Amino acid sequence: MLFRSWLAHVYCSPERESRVLIDFSLGPIPVLEGQGDMAAVLPGLCKIMESFLEGWKSFMYEKRLQHFYLNYYTAEQLVYLCTELGQGMPSQDALMMLSFLKHNCTERDVLRVSGSELPPSSRQAISDFQVMLDGEKDLTAQLECIWDCYMNNMGSLLPNCLDIDTLGGWLKSLAGWESEQVTRDFPRDLLYVGQPNLITCPRSEVLASALAIYMNSPNQPLPTFDEVLLCTPQTTAEQVGLFLRRCFIPCSGGEKIYTMLYADELSYDVSCRAEDLFQHLQHYNSTYRLIILCNCEREHSYIPSVFSQYKVHMIPQRPLAEIQRYLQHHYRVAQPSSSAASVFKDNMCVGIVSSKRAGVGKMSHAKWDLLSVKNEWGSPCQVSCPSHKHLVKKNDSDYSQWSEVRAVRAVCRTQASLEMVCLANPTSVSFC
């Protein structure tokens, strides 16, 4: 956050004096100036910046271990939350992000948590900083002085921004006010606690196998992003790192099952960094519950190879009808009178429109459903998502073919939203 808006101007023309001007665009920090031979000044500047980066990585590594709920957010999201919450009036986007921890988080919740834990005072730190900075003439020494002040008291240089410790405390308080705690039953007869469980199966069965695991706790909510990581070649090391930290760092909030899907598709670099982080984190928790699901045709990939000693030789399975009943239980809206789901079959908030061939009216059906929502609840918002080319089995007995899918979401201005999945090719209409 300290270097988020900084600018460095380097003047090395032989027609004028060589110098470097550094502007942090922060009120307490004046414009810094360095003079001399740029061939010597610039390497020193780069070296000190690299040391700051390494120091920040180590700092955040420790803070993510110390504050569990920081691991729900990426670095960019943490910067955003620190800025929004530090200003006292969080935006709707910030409240939505906080709702991952406290359901339907409101401004009142933020005001309540801000009153219970105040950021450290920065007045004395500012005066000490000014004295120290005035006593330094060398550019690198001035940068070190700024960095030390920032690391010791972030609020001293960023007065309208929360420091990481305060944010971690606020997130913990918000999560503590959540009334529902997820506690899942773990199939100990098949899988092992305190070690990774590698399961390989055909790619088309990965999702069904994951559902079979979570179906051991039918009354618990469906798993969300904090428990399940859907891996692709574009998945970043940061995303995998946050997932592993949520898995390994002890937390008092329930007992969850952490599952990596399609882990064989991670890039080589991300896989290496994931293995390294796993080796560092596994010592923090002896009762973690981690499942890695991979395509059996890609067992030569990095992740399946590294964790091959933990391979489970049984694949979790449930009958299709039982999986459908499980999903129906969770996708049915309890109070349809106050939800857009009231216009759909069996009050479901998720449906599937599918067909054996193209051009039989799938989009028309979706449009009629959207029109029904509009007439019932007002103007809905329709969002089209690109196809991921995952295969979905038809539950209609007349059609057993597999089809590519694309998602269409209709979000109503009510207490609930509708999500529909329409098949790109090919339909008869059915809802799960």
Contacts of 11 (CB under 8 A, 6+ apart): 17, 18, 19, 20, 21
> pLDDT grade, residue 60 (50/70/90)?
very high
12-16, 172-176, 397-401, range with greatest mean pLDDT: 172-176
Q: Decide which of 374 and 85 is more confident.
A: 85
pLDDT value at residue 350: 76
> pLDDT grade, residue 381 (50/70/90)?
low
Task: Please state the domain extents for the chain.
Answer: 40-176, 196-310, 328-430
Q: Is a pLDDT exceeding 60 seen at residue 360?
A: yes
Q: Is a pLDDT exceeding 50 seen at residue 190?
A: yes
CB atoms within 10 A of CB 358: 11
CB atoms within 10 A of CB 370: 21
Residue 414 has φ and ψ, to the nearest 5°, of -135, -165
Q: Is a pLDDT exceeding 90 seen at residue 50?
A: yes
345 neighbors 352 (Cβ within 8 angstroms): no
| CA max distance for the chain | 83
Q: Which residues pair with 260 in a beta bridge?
A: 229, 292
CATH 3.10.20 assigned to domain 196-310? The reply is no
Q: Is a pLDDT exceeding 50 seen at residue 385?
A: no
pLDDT value at residue 347: 79
Mean pLDDT for 412-417 is 30
* 81-139 residue pLDDT tens: 998 998 878 899 999 999 989 888 999 999 888 877 666 665 555 666 666 777 677 88
pLDDT value at residue 379: 56
